[in-house]
Amino acid sequence: MEKLLGKTGAGARWLLEWTRSIVVALFVWFLLSTFLLQAFHITSGSMERTALVGDFLFVNKLLYGAEVPLVRTHLPSIREPGHDEVVVITSPIEDLVLLKRIVGLPGDTIAMSDGRLVRNGHVIREPYITLHTDAPRLDSATREQMRTWQSPHLVSPPASSYHPDSRTWGPLVVPSGSLFALGDNRDDSFDSRYYGFIPRENLRGAPLFIYYSYDPSSWHALPFLTAIRWNRLLTRPFRAP
């Protein structure tokens, strides 16, 4: 009986230690994923060539101030975002997390003329963007949506004669506490041109590096094992030149 009780006690201690280890590991994982690092999976082509469908990357959540769960506040940021940085944001119109490039900061005057980005009167060199041979044709409802939200922020021309499209719009002034972000694959990106400015608090973090990548369009069996993009592993294609 004493031997049996001894074995039972040892088993209980082992179970307690095992449970404690699991709880500590989960707690550490929760802290890391909430305030420091988070994994992100690219599922759309809006940032090609910078980020490809099938890329998996880590996001630095601490840089711009991680959100504290439940209380709707943020930790202090290490620094503010800069021009042409690639960031992870929460969409202002739907429950989606997006990867975009910041092209406008508070106080900037931004515009686009025939696909060329103009910021504060200067044409911006953007070697990372992709444009189709022909500009996409927007339906009348989409163009009206663009005109409606952009008109109050116009510098010129008068709102009554303003008819923006995907490659020509503005100039607009970015208001305080807001950002203007575009996808690098300009003709296949749903971004600030269509839904407006992004509140600063929607900024989730900055991508660090690609830790895994595969081609999901591959016809090979098990493409996540047989179609690995080895040349993209541990790379950082997000830095603006």
Overall domain count for the chain: 1
Query: Which of the residues are catalytic?
Result: 46, 100
DSSP 8-state secondary structure symbol assigned to residue 201:
G
Residue 204 CB coordination number (10 Å): 21
| Residue-level pLDDT at 4 | 45
146 lies in a domain?
A: yes
Domain housing 226: 29-232
The SS3 of residue 211 is: strand
Predicted TM-score (pTM) of the model is 0.84
48 lies in a domain?
A: yes
| Residue-level pLDDT at 223 | 83
CB hemisphere CA count around 42 (13 angstroms): 29
102 lies in a domain?
A: yes
Task: Note down pLDDT in tens along the chain; length 241 residues.
Answer: 545 445 556 666 766 776 676 766 555 555 555 556 889 999 999 999 999 999 999 999 989 987 777 777 777 888 999 999 999 999 999 989 999 999 999 999 999 999 999 999 999 999 999 999 998 899 999 999 999 999 999 998 787 889 999 999 999 999 999 999 999 999 999 999 999 999 999 999 999 999 999 999 888 778 878 899 999 999 999 876 5
Residue with tokens 């809006």: 46
Query: Among candidates 44, 45, 40, which has minimal Cα distance to 185?
Result: 45
Report the chain's C-alpha Rg in angstroms: 23
184 lies in a domain?
A: yes
| Residue-level pLDDT at 42 | 95
Query: Among candidates 128, 241, 107, 144, which has minimal Cα distance to 189?
Result: 128
170 lies in a domain?
A: yes
36 lies in a domain?
A: yes
14 lies in a domain?
A: no
CA torsion sign for 186, 189, 194, 196 is: negative
76 lies in a domain?
A: yes
Query: Among candidates 5, 60, 51, which has minimal Cα distance to 32?
Result: 60
**CATH (domain of 74):** 2.10.109.10
